[in-house]
Structure 1
């Protein structure tokens, strides 16, 4: 059973969010949750919240789902819209500041057979 959750318009650069996504790709849900709770990256908190949402989607979709058998099948980060801002600089100049946003998608699936110890 495959379930999906999306987080759109996250106010963080896709490059920084991908660092966190790479940490948990392919891991069990419990292991990924532990990794995200202990991570010092600022993007770990919204990714953890998205993971909990995906688990809740799995429980809501099917009553008999075993959370211990769920794993992260896919996780990817796409760039969202970029907000362009101007910051005043010395000698009458102005530089453009890019405020980048991200779209996250996570897919969970159940492992076939028994879980490894």
Structure 2
């Protein structure tokens, strides 16, 4: 089962949000929540909120074990053009960019759960 959450018009530059999104793609949800909680980027907060919303959309908010981030992407939102005072009375333009954040969460296949636990046990023995 898949669940989608979309956060639109986030006041963050798309390139900066994409740096955070790369950290959570194809990761288990529990691991992604940990990563986002300790990522020292301002844009990690809206990504975390969107991920929590996607988890809630599955109906398993209390127990997100067995879910993974299937895909996470960003879209460019509208750009606000602003002016800043410049030299000799001129106005210098700059752009305030916005981002649309999309996170898709799905169930892990039964094989994925068993393989990951087996690998951890083998690494612990070594």
TM-score (norm 1): 0.92
- The range that moved more, 65-74 or 36-45, is 65-74
Q: Matched residue of 1:80: which SS?
A: strand
Q: Deviations over 1:69-94 (max 9, x none)?
A: 10000100011000000111111221
| Bigger helix fraction | 2
- Matched with 1:94 is 91
CA RMSD of the aligned region, Å? 1.7
CA distance in 2, matches of 1:79, 1:98: 13
| Equivalenced residues, count | 114
- Deviation for aligned residue 1:66: 5.9
Runs of at least 5 residues in structure 2 that lack an aligned partner in the other structure: 118-126
Q: Matched residue of 1:50: which SS?
A: helix
Which is higher, the Rg of structure 1 or of structure 2? 2
CA distance in 1, matches of 2:56, 2:63: 12
Runs of at least 5 residues in structure 1 that lack an aligned partner in the other structure: none
TM-score (norm 2): 0.85
